[in-house]
Structures are given as C-alpha cells and as structure tokens.
C-alpha cells in the first residue's frame, strides 16, 4: 500500500483525528512561510523575520515592526483564500471525524474554511487591541492606518499575536495537550517543528498513528509512523 492509501484507510477508520499545523498549510493559499526557499527568510531584509516579529521590535522599533507586519503578514493573509488542506480539515470536523485543528498560523484561514474548533497557539491577526486602554480593533483598521496604528487614547494598537519573546496562552496550550493526548491519529502538517514550545506538543501523543506531511524533512521524521514529503493541499485532495 502507498503512504497515501495507508493514510486514507486510517482516516476512514477514525473518529478522533487531531491536526497540528504551521505556515506550510497556507503556502498553497499564497502566504509565504518563514523557512521554505521562497519563504520570508530567503527574502532580503535588514533583519530576519523572527527578529522583526518580536516583542523587542514592537516596543523599540515600532515603525519598522508595523511596516513589515502589515506588508508581509497581514496584507497577504487578507487576500488569501483557504486551500484544499483547510477545506478537507473542515469537512472531517463536520463529519465528526476530526476533533480539533491546532495551528501556529495567525492567518484565520481555518475558520474561513469552516473549521470550528481551532486552537490558535500564536494568536491571530484578526484581533487587535490598544496596549494602553485595551480597546479592541479589527484587522482592517490596522491595515488602513498610516504607519503605527494608534488608539483614540494615544496608545498603540497591537495584534493579538504571540510575538517572539512572548509567552503562549496557557489555557490554549493545555487544551491542545488534552486533544493530542486523546487523539487516535495525530496529523502534523506544514511545519518545520523548530518553534518551541509549540513544537513540543508532539511529545504528548500516545497513539501509533503519527503522520507527518511536510515538504521538507523535519527533525521529527524518525518518530513518525507515516511520513509524506509532498504539498499538503495536494495530499489532502487525494484523501
Ligand atoms: P516554518 O518554519 O516556515 O516551516 C514551514 C514548513 O512547511 C517548512 O518545513 C516547509 O517545508 C513546509 N511547507 C511549505 N509549504 C508546504 C506545503 N504546501 N505542504 C507541506 N509542507 C509545506 O513555519 P512554522 O509554522 O513551522 O513556524 C512557526 C512560525 C511561523 C509560527 O509562529 C507562525 O506564526 C509563523 N508564520 C505563520 C504564517 C501564517 O499564519 N500563514 C506565515 C508565516 C509564518
């Protein structure tokens, strides 16, 4: 049996699938990831993306933070449409087969595809709030603002995104752990599995059907029961 046939059989037999994904899930929607050859790391900036998308940059170089954030992260995500991977996951959830999507992505595409139980480990570009008074703002307001988005109280409007150097929401992490511990199949897709603590979630899986669908090799390939190095949208459209 081919890997895809095995995966198809596992999925057909299961009603407790959990998916854990990253930026590679959205590249087929036209949003660049960080580490692929055409990802944001390979483009020329004064600083690597992880330096810019950090708490230090937001507070110390606020202009540059928002220039990069709006142009390279928000604008492409708002233009993007879900792809076959997002839609397939939503379909499995509707059929009662998939329990949760745990994502490192901040682009909102799983919800756009119809997924309901989406745990956003790194937050979302869709929500924003004033760092002084807490007032909430939508993403269109942030994108339309000139330079640094400012609240009427004078504070800076920041994204509800977990930046580098910032902590994850422990409620979301604990919920993710519970889903993974109980999962029958854990499918991990489109993530280089190098960003912690998110990447460490894989250790909580207790089953024997750990599936990795990622274009490039990862340091966790050796622990997976099934590894497919192909585009996730293409793989999922065959299931
Ligand atoms: P990453 O480190 O950029 O890794 C992406 C991985 O996906 C790489 O190993 C690629 O080989 C693989 N990949 C790329 N395209 C595909 C595809 N079509 N099918 C299968 N695999 C593919 O991204 P991670 O998510 O692992 O890193 C975590 C960071 C990146 C998180 O904090 C994200 O918030 C952040 N990020 C998010 C987005 C988004 O929301 N769409 C975009 C860019 C970066």
Please give the biggest Cα pair distance in the chain. 62
pLDDT in tens, 33-42: 987 656 666 6
Interval 102-129 mean pLDDT = 98
Rounded to a whole number of angstroms, the distance between the first and last alpha carbons of the chain is: 14
Of 35 and 187, more confident: 187
Pocket of ligand 1 (CB under 6 A): 22-24, 26-28, 31, 33-36, 39, 104-107, 122, 189-192, 194-195, 213-216, 231-233
Give pLDDT, residue 198.
84
Task: Work out the average pLDDT over 153-169.
Answer: 97
Query: Using CA atoms, how far apart are residues 184 and 73, in angstroms rounded to an integer?
Result: 34
Query: Catalytic site residue 141?
Result: no
How distant, in Å, are the alpha carbons of 69, 136, 167, 234 from that of 171? 26, 21, 12, 33
pLDDT for residue 176: 98
Q: Region 1-19: what's the mean pLDDT?
A: 96
Residue 61 in contact with residue 55, Cβ under 8 Å?
A: no
pLDDT tens digits for 190-231?
A: 999 998 888 899 999 999 999 999 999 999 999 999 999 999
Residue-wise pLDDT tens digits, 54-100: 999 999 999 999 999 999 899 999 999 999 999 999 999 999 999 99
Q: Of the listed 55, 110, 122, 229, which one is catalytic?
A: 122
Quote the pLDDT of residue 36: 66
Residue 49 predicted with pLDDT over 90: no
In this prediction, residue 34 carries a pLDDT of 84
| Residues 69, 57 contacting (CB under 8 angstroms) | no
Distance 53 CA to ligand 1 centre (A): 15
- The arrangement of strands across the sheet holding 98-103 comes to 118-120, 98-103, 17-21, 185-189, 210-213, 226-228
Q: What's the gap between Cα 45 and its chain centre?
A: 23
Q: In this model, does residue 178 exceed pLDDT 70?
A: yes
Q: What is the mean pLDDT of the chain?
A: 95
**Ligand 1 atom 34: residue of nearest CA:** 105
Rounded to two decimals, the pTM is: 0.95
Q: Is 225 helix (H, G, I), strand (E, B) or coil?
A: coil
User: Which residue among 21, 22, 195 has the greatest number of ligand 1 atoms within 8 angstroms of its CB, and so is best to mutate?
Assistant: 22
Pull the structure tokens for residue 7: 């995966």
Q: What is the pLDDT of residue 35?
A: 74
């Amino acid at each position: 049996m081919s890997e895809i046939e095995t995966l198809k059989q596992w999925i057909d037999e299961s009603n407790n699938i959990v998916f854990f994904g990253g930026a590679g899930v959205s590249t087929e929607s036209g949003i660049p990831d960080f580490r692929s050859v055409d990802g944001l790391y390979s483009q020329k900036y004064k600083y690597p993306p992880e330096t810019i998308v950090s708490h230090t940059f937001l507070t110390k170089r606020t202009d540059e933070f928002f220039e990069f954030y709006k142009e390279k992260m928000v604008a492409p995500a708002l233009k993007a449409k879900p792809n076959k991977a997002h839609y397939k996951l939503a379909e499995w959830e509707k059929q009662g087969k998939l329990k949760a999507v745990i994502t490192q992505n901040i682009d909102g595409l799983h919800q756009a595809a119809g997924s309901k139980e989406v745990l956003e480990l790194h937050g979302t570009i869709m929500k924003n709030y004033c760092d002084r008074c807490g007032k909430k703002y939508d993403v269109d307001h942030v994108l339309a603002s000139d330079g640094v988005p400012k609240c009427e109280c004078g504070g800076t409007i920041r994204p509800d995104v977990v930046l580098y150097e910032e902590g994850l929401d422990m409620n979301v992490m604990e919920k993710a752990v519970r889903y993974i511990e109980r999962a029958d199949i854990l499918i991990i897709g489109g993530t280089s599995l190098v960003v912690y603590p998110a990447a460490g979630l894989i250790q909580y899986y207790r089953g024997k059907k750990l599936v990795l669908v990622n274009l490039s090799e990862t340091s966790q390939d050796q622990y997976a029961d099934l590894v497919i190095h192909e585009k996730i949208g293409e793989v999922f459209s065959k299931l």
